[in-house]
Amino acid sequence: MRQIESLVEPTTWQAFLRTTVGGESSTDVAESLGLTPAAVRKAKSRTLQRLRKQLGDLI
């Protein structure tokens, strides 16, 4: 996961971690990061895509 982290912006990584691992709502994360909820969902989606691609290369 560190490899993926290095490929995305810090805010994108925080949005991903907090919504996926931390279970926070996109609204709460957006408010604290100064983003829209849609931007948080997009950041999560893009990061998950990168992670799936990375894992797919390993399988």
Residue 8 token pair: 């995305």
Predicted TM-score of the model (pTM): 0.86
Look over the chain and give the mean of its residue pLDDT values, rounded to a whole number: 92
- Looking at residue 31, its pLDDT comes to 98
pLDDT of residue 40: 98
Taking alpha carbons only, the member of 20, 50, 24, 26 closest to residue 40 is 26
Q: Going from the N-terminus, what domains does the chain have, and what CATH number goes with each?
A: 2-58 (1.10.10.10)
Q: How would you write the pLDDT of the chain (59 residues) with one tens digit per residue?
A: 788 888 899 999 999 999 999 999 999 999 999 999 999 999 999 999 999 888 886 65
Q: Hey, how many other C-beta atoms are within 10 angstroms of the C-beta on 16? A: 25
